[in-house]
Structure 1
Amino acid sequence: MKFGVAKDLITPDLLTHMGGYGSFFDNCFQGIHDDLYVRTLLLDDGVNRMLMISLDLLFHDYALTETVKDYAREKFAIDPDYVFLSYSHTHGGPAVRGYDDSSQHSEPYEAFLLQRICSSINRAMVNLFEGTIEHGAIEGDWNINRRRMVGGKIENKPNPDGEKDDGLHLLRIRNRVGDTKAILVHYACHPVTVRDTMYISGDFPARVCHLLEAELFGSTAIFFQGAGGNARPKITAKGSEFATCTYGDMNELSLSIAQRIKDALHACHVFSPLALQLEARQFQIPIEIEPFSKAHIERIALDDKCFPGTRRIASKVLEQYERLPDEALLPAGLVRLAEGRYMAWMGGEPCYEVKKKLEAALGVGRLIFVGYMDSTAYIPDDSIIAEGGYEASESALEYGLKGGFKPGIDRRIAEAFMRQLRSFE
């Protein structure tokens, strides 16, 4: 088995609008707290090669993935089904194409970003080494459900009794002499510790990677976000509300996660070796939309209590209402890493219930579930749609959709993944 790993700086070198919360208010960043990176991991089982790329960004539309797939195919003859991009979902990155208002992203930054991604792929391809890969899974109580029923309505508030994913998956890659060269970290939690603070930052996922790389000299740590759509850092829960934390608070959270990972790396019983047998499929899942009325969208477009960015997007949706589709095409992927060990990939912001139901439907044990392949929208399950709230439909306009998703999403997702799983046999 061969591997390759690389990372490149993607911190903006020009002033840009902030993504996430900052985009709501048309704010540019005020400075750089910590740098952003693209990290690339190459897996080669001798038959197939796969690229897994993670970016310290909120997310991007799927066009970027398609461009990178074309590059990897043309330069290195890597099958597009074996090229995966996802985003840590830090809210401390620049505005990019996709989620944020189209007037906010920077074309020079988009060109810079693509160049750095391609550079990272190039260096991973020349940084090849023979080695081994191991999988480990631990648990940690660092997140909290953010959907709480208040007066018969779901609100964005801490819910200590709500479901959340405590699992943290690790893939450790070592060279032939046993040195750790890459450590893949997978956890499910919104990176919003400092929320709307207007400084560039990779938030806790990036800080965890920094800490692990400092411990494991010569290694690259890579974070992949899970089904964190309805989970926030537990440290941000202050009584019945969520609060903006400090960078010191973020560091404390990151130190706790990194220490737990370090302990696992030294515990022989946590990891088991994988004999790579790579097989990958990428596909789209059509998800039906329940359109809002034009009157509802117009109220939001004219409501001066709404964020300026949201009002602008609502106005554009209203202008294009008749031409907008009544379904969204959700990008997804399924990867067999080794016999009985799978990774599922999904666009948008999947909630934990989506991952939990898919894991049960596939029946493949503890599934490594990566979200945020693109900026489709929040991906709820049928139970969340029935409850309502931000993840169910209230956020749909922010993504340029004309409505929330219809019930039946559980069946559509399960059937799509099951078809791919059967094709592996």
Structure 2
Amino acid sequence: MRFGVAKDLITPDQPAYMGGYASFFNQQFQGIHDDLYVRTLLVEDGGTKLVFVSLDLLFHDFALTEELQRWVETAYGIPGRHFFLAYSHTHGGPALVGYDDASQHSPAYERFLIDRIQSCVSRAMVNLFEGTLEAGGVDGDWNMNRRRLVDGKMQNKPNPEGAKDDRLHVLRVLDANGRTKVVLFNYACHPVTVRDTPYLSGDYPGRACHLIEAEYYGATGIFFQGAGGNSRPKATAYKGSFITCTYDEVNEMAASIVQAIKRLFANPKAMAPVQPKLAACQFRIRLELEPYPKRHFADIANDPDSWPGLVGMANRVFDGYESQPDFMLLPAGLIRLSADLYIAYMGGEPCYEVKQKLERLFPDVTLLFWGYADAAAYIPDDRILAEGGYEAEGSVVEYGLKGPFRPGIDARMAEAFTTAFRALQ
């Protein structure tokens, strides 16, 4: 196998509005706690090349990915369906097109971001080396379910008994001399440790990459967010609520993750060689919506208690209500690394239950799950839809949707991924 790897700085070099929590208060960042990066991994086996890009950002709409897919096909002859981009979902980054209010976007930063991503991919193309790929995993207790039933209503509160994805998946690339060149890790947990603190930061995923790169000289750490839609850092749970933590606590969480990776690497039986059999496909999953009445959005826009960012989104839906479709096309994909190792790829903020059900569809393979490929919506399963709560209905306006999803998500997910799996056989 051949690999290419690169990273590049994407920290804004001029004032910009914050994304994530802070975007709802129209806050610009006040400083840079730690830099933001784009990281690229190229994997090549014979004639098949796959490109994986990870961004230390909240997320963008899928138009950015589509533009880069067209570019990589023209520039390097790599099929667009073999290009995968996802976001760490740090809330410590700048506002971007696709989620944050239009008044908060920076056209200059959007141009800067595309240029840096293309540069990073291009440098990966000239940083090629022969090597091998290993895969392994370990369970860790760094997250907590955030859906708790209180007085008959599903609320955003710590739920120690709730389902969560404890698995930390790790892919390691070694060069021909056995040196660690890439540590790609995949975990499911919202990077909201410092919440709306107005400083740029990669949160725990970015810090873990820093520590990996310090530990393995010459290596690049790369993070892909999992099905973390309904989980938050365990460190933020305090006395029945979620609190804002410090950067020291971010560091503690990241250091604990890296220690787990080091222990994994120290166990000669824990990491298994990957016998490459590369293939990939991308597709869209049609999810039907149950539209709210148009007046619902006017009420939110006129509510004096609504956050400024929420008012902007409600007005946007209200103004375009008649032209908006009653469905959403969710970007998704499936990647085959070997005969028994796959990666499911999906836009939006998938909840853990979505991953669980896909794993049950393919019990004979190890399935990694990369969410946050775009700013589509929270992606619940049918049970969460029935239970209600923020992931099912409370976040609809923030994402500019006309209403929550209709039941039937489980069947549509199963059909789409089963079809993709058969196509890759």
So what's the TM-score if we normalise by structure 1? 0.99
Aligned CA distance change for structure 1 residues 309 and 423 (closer, same or farther; 3 Å): same
Q: Tell me, yes or no, if the aligned pair for 2:340 and 2:366 is still in contact at 8 Å.
A: no
Aligned-partner Cα distance in 1 for 2:175–2:315:
54
The aligned residue for residue 296 of structure 2 is 296
Deviation by residue 1:251-284 (Cα, 9 ceiling, x = unmatched): 1111111111111111111100001111100000
Aligned-partner Cα distance in 2 for 1:166–1:350:
15
Aligned-partner Cα distance in 1 for 2:9–2:312:
32
Q: Give the superposition deviation at 1:52.
A: 0.3
Deviation by residue 1:107-142 (Cα, 9 ceiling, x = unmatched): 000000000000000110000000000001111000
Q: Give the superposition deviation at 1:372.
A: 0.4
Q: Does 1:29 align with 2:26?
A: no
**What SS is found at the alignment partner of 2:17?**
coil
Deviation by residue 1:214-242 (Cα, 9 ceiling, x = unmatched): 00000001000000000000000001000
**What SS is found at the alignment partner of 1:136?**
strand
Deviation by residue 1:69-121 (Cα, 9 ceiling, x = unmatched): 11111111001110000000000000011110111110000000000000000
Comparing 290-299 and 194-203, the one that deviates more: 290-299
Aligned-partner Cα distance in 2 for 1:97–1:319:
18
Deviation by residue 1:40-64 (Cα, 9 ceiling, x = unmatched): 0000001200000000000000011
Aligned-partner Cα distance in 2 for 1:338–1:296:
48
The aligned residue for residue 229 of structure 2 is 229
The aligned residue for residue 394 of structure 1 is 394
Aligned-partner Cα distance in 1 for 2:134–2:45:
14
Aligned-partner Cα distance in 1 for 2:359–2:99:
28
Task: Provide runs of 4+ in structure 1 moved above 4 Å.
Answer: none
**What SS is found at the alignment partner of 2:193?**
coil
Q: Kindly report which structure 2 residues correspond to 1:111-150, keeping only aligned pairs within 5 A, or say none.
A: 111-150=111-150
Residue identity in the other structure for 2:137: A
Q: Give the superposition deviation at 1:25.
A: 0.7
Q: Tell me, yes or no, if the aligned pair for 2:289 and 2:406 is still in contact at 8 Å.
A: yes
Aligned-partner Cα distance in 1 for 2:263–2:212:
11
Aligned-partner Cα distance in 1 for 2:100–2:362:
34
Q: Does 1:5 align with 2:5?
A: yes
Aligned-partner Cα distance in 1 for 2:138–2:316:
45
Aligned-partner Cα distance in 2 for 1:211–1:404:
40
The aligned residue for residue 190 of structure 2 is 190
Comparing 249-258 and 194-203, the one that deviates more: 249-258
Q: Does 1:39 align with 2:39?
A: yes
The aligned residue for residue 412 of structure 1 is 412
Q: Give the superposition deviation at 1:306.
A: 1.3
Deviation by residue 1:135-161 (Cα, 9 ceiling, x = unmatched): 011110000000000000000000000
**What SS is found at the alignment partner of 2:393?**
helix
Which sections of structure 2, spanning at least 5 residues, go unmatched? none
**What SS is found at the alignment partner of 1:405?**
coil
Aligned-partner Cα distance in 2 for 1:294–1:123:
48
Q: Tell me, yes or no, if the aligned pair for 1:17 and 1:104 is still in contact at 8 Å.
A: yes
The aligned residue for residue 310 of structure 2 is 310
Comparing 293-302 and 27-36, the one that deviates more: 293-302
Aligned-partner Cα distance in 1 for 2:183–2:136:
11
**What SS is found at the alignment partner of 2:40?**
strand
Residue identity in the other structure for 1:224: F
Percent of pairs identical after alignment?
58
Aligned-partner Cα distance in 1 for 2:266–2:222:
19
The aligned residue for residue 365 of structure 1 is 365
Q: Does 1:156 align with 2:161?
A: no
Residue identity in the other structure for 1:4: G
